[in-house]
Structure 1
């Protein structure tokens, strides 16, 4: 066997077992058809208090399902505390639900993944179908990872298992309109974090590069406008597509230091992961610019910067500056003290 030529890209790509993704305004109306197709008659919805109390999204999902929900658990909190997941699991068992829909951001979606794992006794029994309806840009619906918080230890933990990925996903920009602007914007920065760290990953590869760089381009083109004009459904959908693309590489090329630091900050100070990416990404990119200037230069071009004739080292730093500037233009902060984190 001949030796592998290190100058030619090599690697592997793992596809996640997502069965179908529905895309577009009003696409949630196809929910009933999907429930009929999978033979579900008792749909249970998992979400958080904000969606339950401040929006009509639960009613809209129930209407789209064409049947009364078997139950609703709306007490999932930020960073998915284990106590809430346990209560939700109990409620679902008692309801005799035969499918689950997670509605919201990363916490309801991750919680539902873990609930599926628990109900199937760690997949020793057939898994209950999970349908994800995201309202943020966290991309948790495209992830095989589910995070939760151990409240006693105040520590983020979780699971990685390809079988936890939702079976069906609905990317409906109409359902994202009630999402608070700061949450939409910061979760978009989280998707940017996924994409950027895929590009400068030591395991980077051409397929993932293509999707990650397109995600970065779409976010720089659409995130600010979609935040300021949530009724611009094309802009909202472009961001949803970017979130999808941003996560294409995580299972195959991994994440980096920005994610690692963010997990600690999020669980310790109860800060959303979108905000942790605002705090960490540009700073980590400055460090990576010294180690991987060619990869960071690719990100600069995806951001829309003209790098023709610009030295690679300078273009690499421009990429980090671009992220910091985007965070600023979104009205978000990258200072720890603005989120109640002191030096002490």
Structure 2
């Protein structure tokens, strides 16, 4: 139920959740929905470590006066299983009837898997492992504890039912993916996001760009005019506004547009359009200590380049959509021209690389601490990822992944300007 002055809508209709709230301060919106929508009295809060020491957290706790039964400060990056079972046990022991997360990516994924663990009494790492959807899971009891996400980045996990969590014994990230998972409400407040470190905000924005780009480039029969139009809308909301935010971090309108762009990026998923190798390799870079959005900054330009070189006319035609969209946005076109990129001679990989560079993000594996010694293991792990075979140029052999990884190893400039155009 909407509050006065609030925009309240379904994120990805016809999916019954999550709803999205914009237009109110996050504290006001959260207090309203805890009371009126969820009628909750025992709220468990999961807050990022950095936010837990700020006025924002204090004011949210105050707004939920007397209803907070437990607080967890921080879930480590890539959601280690150990953290999940620890939090799940605490949520269970405190008999919480609602989980509220305040922060970015890992908390969002973590809360989903926590909710699944609580519903199924999975309070040890061994128990949790049996529910990974990568391992032919057994029957599960549906999640019963609703979740409110108040995101402070653009990673977008709050719109999906899939939660990723990492088994630290093998450093492999597993999927937990069940229809009952996911949050019920996402509260968007651009003013809150101004305190997010610029680096975290912008790299998570590139992650959302990656969803749109790989959606538009997909060769799957599920990619159609409708899915293309939401990916295009997402790209148009994201890229120009990220460039604005880089130069003017206090511009709340640009931030809200980016947040709405993330919703469009995630709407693309509802069509079941598969992602490609940027996502596939990115999933396996995560456990090696590379941030969620950094994986897209580093891999997407080289994956586009690889697909352009090895793809057929159909693959290049899909990539042309990216060029047409980006060149038609004045903010983006000005930036590209300012960086000496010419309209007729550049491919989509060049454009994405220029955007990443302009945002001040890392553009190569070496810049995120991944050297040549890691490539073989990375290629091996990537071959297990579901998005590798669905790349526009299907990857059926480890040598193909290695080729892309070698392209991404060093900054593009040191590869002699533009990579080759065959």
Please give the per-residue CA displacement for 1:133-166, whole angstroms capped at 9, x wherever unaligned: 1110000001121001111101111211232121
Q: TM-score, normalised by structure 1?
A: 0.88
Equivalences for residues 178-189 of structure 1 within 5 A: 178-189=195-206
Match of 1:9 in 2: none
Match of 2:185 among 129, 151, 168: 168
Equivalences for residues 1-344 of structure 1 within 5 A: 15-24=14-23, 26-36=25-35, 37-53=37-53, 55-121=54-120, 124=141, 127-201=144-218, 202=220, 203-251=222-270, 252-267=272-287, 269-289=288-308, 290-291=311-312, 292-305=315-328, 317-344=346-373
Query: 1:248 is paired with a residue of what secondary structure?
Result: helix
| Distance change >3 Å, CA 177–CA 14, structure 1 → 2 | closer
How many residues align? The count is 324
Structure 2 Cα separation of the partners of residues 167 and 214 of structure 1: 24
Deviation, 1:175, is: 1.5
| Distance change >3 Å, CA 317–CA 157, structure 1 → 2 | farther
Query: 1:164 is paired with a residue of what secondary structure?
Result: coil
Structure 1 Cα separation of the partners of residues 112 and 72 of structure 2: 14
Deviation, 1:318, is: 3.0
| Distance change >3 Å, CA 300–CA 63, structure 1 → 2 | farther
Do the aligned residues in 2 keep the contact of 1:104 with 1:136 (CA within 8 Å)? yes
Query: 2:261 is paired with a residue of what secondary structure?
Result: helix
Match of 2:407 in 1: none
Structure 1: gaps (5+ residues):
1-12, 308-313
Query: 2:372 is paired with a residue of what secondary structure?
Result: coil
Name the stretch that deviates more: 189-198 or 296-305: 296-305
Structure 1 Cα separation of the partners of residues 321 and 279 of structure 2: 20
Deviation, 1:210, is: 1.0
Do the aligned residues in 2 keep the contact of 1:185 with 1:224 (CA within 8 Å)? no
Please give the per-residue CA displacement for 1:293-342, whole angstroms capped at 9, x wherever unaligned: 221111112223489xxxxxx86953221111010001112111111111
Do the aligned residues in 2 keep the contact of 1:186 with 1:274 (CA within 8 Å)? yes
Do the aligned residues in 2 keep the contact of 1:192 with 1:219 (CA within 8 Å)? yes
Structure 2 Cα separation of the partners of residues 43 and 123 of structure 1: 24
Do the aligned residues in 2 keep the contact of 1:218 with 1:242 (CA within 8 Å)? yes
Name the stretch that deviates more: 256-265 or 16-25: 16-25
Structure 2 Cα separation of the partners of residues 81 and 57 of structure 1: 26
Backbone CA RMSD of aligned residues: 2.2
Deviation, 1:198, is: 0.9
Structure 2 Cα separation of the partners of residues 119 and 228 of structure 1: 44
Deviation, 1:59, is: 1.7
| Distance change >3 Å, CA 28–CA 21, structure 1 → 2 | farther
Please give the per-residue CA displacement for 1:12-38, whole angstroms capped at 9, x wherever unaligned: x98433142102352541222211222
Match of 1:310 in 2: none
| Distance change >3 Å, CA 297–CA 316, structure 1 → 2 | farther
Please give the per-residue CA displacement for 1:264-306, whole angstroms capped at 9, x wherever unaligned: 1111x21111000001111111233344122111111222348
Structure 1 Cα separation of the partners of residues 13 and 185 of structure 2: 18
Bigger relative contact order, structure 1 or 2, given CA contacts below 8 A and separation 6+? 1
Do the aligned residues in 2 keep the contact of 1:286 with 1:317 (CA within 8 Å)? no
Structure 2 Cα separation of the partners of residues 123 and 38 of structure 1: 24
